[in-house]
Structure 1
Amino acid sequence: MPAPLDSFDDVAPALHRLHALPVPVVDALRHWRGTVPAEEVLHVETDPRWADTDAFVEHYGAELLPFSANCVVVAGKRGGESTLAACLVPSAARVDVNGTVRRQLGARKASFAAMDTATGLTGMEHGGITPVGLPADWALFVDPRLLDLTHVLLGSGLRRGKLIMPGKALAELPGAVLVDGLGRA
């Protein structure tokens, strides 16, 4: 199958590569709902050394940056209560944690979640967290600019692979909330 982003030689439907994905992502793909068929979620094997955005773009090509998105886990605190959520923004943007995210969570304070918390609760690796297969009770804040992309390059849950999916499918992921101003340049 030809890659929607020409930088990869070996692209296949993620449903054909469940062995290369963590359990939460496998479960999400098996129980997929939405107007975009699960077969349109693609997987590409990548070298884990290049998982972080800057290294990935340098190794695989700068033309991927406009199609690339990062998923980060955030924590909001208010009155001793902590709420976790995930944020999906273009890779060239930074999540507005102290403004937009804090307001979305109704929190007094917001920050990036500790790595052990993010990886432990998602069942995914640091540097590979994806919005596919997040805990069911989490909100997923999505930068609406991503929906206009024909394909978005995301983590696969593991550092050794990426998912490629139509941008419009992001709005249909469980817990998805479109948030203007989520990502800042």
Structure 2
Amino acid sequence: MTTLDYSPAATRTDLLAPSVAAAVAAWAGSTPVEEIRVAEIDPELADTAAFCAAYDEPLAESANCVVVHGRRGETVTPVACLVLATTRADVNGLVRKHVNARKASFAPMEEAVADTGMEYGGITPLGLPESYVLLVDPAVVASPRVVIGSGLRRSKICLPGSAVAEIPGATVLPGLGLPVPS
């Protein structure tokens, strides 16, 4: 069981990146906004494996949001992929095909941070720019509880997985999360 004390995110906007706080304030999903919760963490422990170990959070309930650039000629499509921490995003297969790109690769850290207005290690699907394609693995949505970034390295958001599918622009894409090779 987690050792973190989660509070309603709407009441702790100091723990959210500005765009994430705005997304929480504008929440219109069927999931009550009170079920979107946030907890402060040590920013040195923001990376998933360290976070889960330090705070007794299961890897299977943690999700990673990775930023990818799909390219076709001069056109670059920014894509955010949310997958459980026990999987990896199928960037070069499914993501590339979904956005009709010739090539897909992880966005450089500096660009991902500048584009999203979020901190590296805290990028989250809540509050992404409208230009982003948001892809979510069905396993995230099926999880009763999932922990994601808050836009900042010093906190994490916990919410029902089903709420992730309610984020404006989210597309649930079967096959997005692939097993991590052992």
Query: Shorter-chain TM-score category?
Result: over 0.9
Q: What is the distance in 2 between the residues matched to 1:45 and 1:94? A: 26
- Checking the alignment, whether the CA contact within 8 Å between 1:115 and 1:126 is kept in structure 2 is yes
Partner of residue 16, structure 1: 11
Match of 1:112 among 76, 86, 106: 106
- Checking the alignment, whether the CA contact within 8 Å between 2:133 and 2:169 is kept in structure 1 is yes
Match of 1:177 among 167, 171, 177: 171
Q: What is the distance in 2 between the residues matched to 1:127 and 1:108? A: 27
Under a length normalisation based on structure 1, what TM-score does the superposition of the two structures give?
0.93
- Checking the alignment, whether the CA contact within 8 Å between 2:49 and 2:59 is kept in structure 1 is no
Q: What is the distance in 2 between the residues matched to 1:74 and 1:127? A: 14
Q: What is the distance in 2 between the residues matched to 1:31 and 1:11? A: 20
How much has 1:64 moved relative to structure 2? Answer: 1.4
How much has 1:58 moved relative to structure 2? Answer: 2.2
Q: Which amino acid aligns with 1:111?
A: S
How much has 1:137 moved relative to structure 2? Answer: 2.2
CA RMSD of aligned residues (A): 1.0
SS at match of 2:119: coil
SS at match of 1:172: coil
Query: For residues 66-77 of structure 1, what are the structure 2 equivalents within 5 Å?
Result: 66-77=60-71
Partner of residue 3, structure 1: none
Under a length normalisation based on structure 2, what TM-score does the superposition of the two structures give?
0.95
CA offsets, 1:127-155, max 9 Å, x none? 01011100012111000011111110001
Identity of aligned residues (%): 50
Q: Which amino acid aligns with 1:53?
A: T
Q: Which amino acid aligns with 1:8?
A: T
Stretches (4+) displaced over 6 A: none
Partner of residue 54, structure 1: 49
Aligned residue pairs: how many? 179
How much has 1:94 moved relative to structure 2? Answer: 0.9
Q: What is the distance in 2 between the residues matched to 1:14 and 1:71? A: 19
Structure 1 residue ranges without an equivalent (≥5): 1-5
Q: Give the 3 Å change call, closer, same or farther, for CA 95–9 of structure 1 in structure 2.
A: closer
